[in-house]
Amino acid sequence: MKTIDSLPKQDGFRMPGEFEEHRGCYIIWPERPDNWRLGGKPAQTTFVKVATAIAEFEPVTVAVSPGQYSNARQMLPDEVRVIEIDNDDAWVRDCGPTYVVNDRGEIRGVDWTFNAWGGLVDGLYFPWDKDNQVAQKICEVERTDRYCLDDFVLEGGSIHVDGEGTLVVTEECLLSPGRNPQLSKEQIEKILMEYLNVEKVIWLKRGIYLDETNGHVDNIFNFVSPGVVALAWTDDENDPQYEISKECYNILAAATDAKGRKLEIHKLYVPSPVLITKEESQGVDAVDGTLPRIVGDRLAASYVNYYTANGGVIFPLFDDPMDKKAEETLKVLYPDRKIVGIPAREIILGGGNIHCITQQVPK
């Protein structure tokens, strides 16, 4: 497995849209007790449901730490491959490789630097060295060469592309002081254009209210297909989410994509606020340096944080009346895919959702 010195754009590689065909999907097994309540047991049950649901559509690999191999192997169905990759937590969207493809069907990984969403400035745990090796290890398993950026911090959840030259990101995240403070917005844009092979970057201002990743785009926005997008939305003007979603809407409505198209924007309504209960808060170990889970805290719950699989869409359920509406909206947006909802409270309690715990490998 080679590390390549050139740039994906000059080599003719581009990041495909998630809606394009996949070779498979990776997930990392949750276990750290200062993020997942009760030593990760309830989250593990939910991750099994997500892995099983995706495995209906494409091959799934679950990466586990050595100490969890037997437990994960026993809990997961046979069709899910379980391999050992040591890790610091379970967010493969962010620490895994971003794959790029060329017209000959070859794929290569892009291995960004991972610093737990902000390093020593406002990162969510310390250390993160095992997570920072996950992308390279997945490239080894997949036998894919990789581009490696040792001095550029980025997470996969902070980028969405249409596969046709358009990238959407948030300023809140990409310009945050804990990532690449030495780079200007223009310099960041140039790096993204070269590594993802895009011509147009649409900058939203902020992500979902109180998102602990500094507003990852994947919790508020997704590409359904080129020119068609989903945006997390609320009509409640008293909810701080309203102003954020409205601002995103205005930016998207005024934008054109890399092909000069106006975007067709579909609203995906957020559930009513999801708050941490006393029992949930008490189940999480308090550790200095890890974001605490405090009773009453509002979680960044959004249906946009779904995974697009070959022939399926796996989306989070919050035991909320909006679950039904989200399913109906997704059915309209994806008439050719099966829409599968998974109760996801145990994932949002860890700070992200189904999209954040998955990483596709394109075909």
Instruction: Give, as ranges, the residues between 156 and 175 that touch ligand KQY (CB under 6 A).
Output: 157
CA distance 9 to 12: 5
Side-chain half-sphere CA neighbours of 146 within 13 A: 25
- Report in angstroms how near the CB of residue 134 gets to ligand KQY at its nearest: 13
Amino acid at 269: Y
356 catalytically annotated: yes
Closer residue to ligand KQY in complex, CB, 17/157: 157
Q: Out of 55, 232, 276, 356, which residue is the one contacting ligand KQY (CB under 6 A)?
A: 356
CA distance 154 to 167: 14
CA distance 360 to 363: 9
Interface with ligand KQY includes 358 (CB under 6 A)?
A: no
- Report in angstroms how near the CB of residue 155 gets to ligand KQY at its nearest: 6
Instruction: Give, as ranges, the residues between 65 and 94 that touch ligand KQY (CB under 6 A).
Output: 91, 93-94
Q: Look at the block and give the residue holding tokens 């790096």.
A: 191
Interface with ligand KQY includes 216 (CB under 6 A)?
A: yes
* Contact stretch for ligand KQY (CB under 6 A) within 47-55, 137-145, 209-217, 257-265: 209-217
Closer residue to ligand KQY in complex, CB, 131/189: 131
Closest by CA position to 197, among listed 136, 258, 264: 258
Interface with ligand KQY includes 359 (CB under 6 A)?
A: no
Q: Look at the block and give the residue holding tokens 């993802």.
A: 196
Q: Are 249 and 264 in contact (CB under 8 A)?
A: no
Interface with ligand KQY includes 34 (CB under 6 A)?
A: no
Residue 278's alpha-carbon distances to 37, 50, 193, 282, 284, in angstroms, are: 12, 26, 45, 6, 10
Interface with ligand KQY includes 124 (CB under 6 A)?
A: yes
| Catalytic (active-site) positions | 356
Residues that bind ligand KQY (CB under 6 A): 35, 91, 93-94, 124, 157, 212-213, 216, 291, 350-352, 356
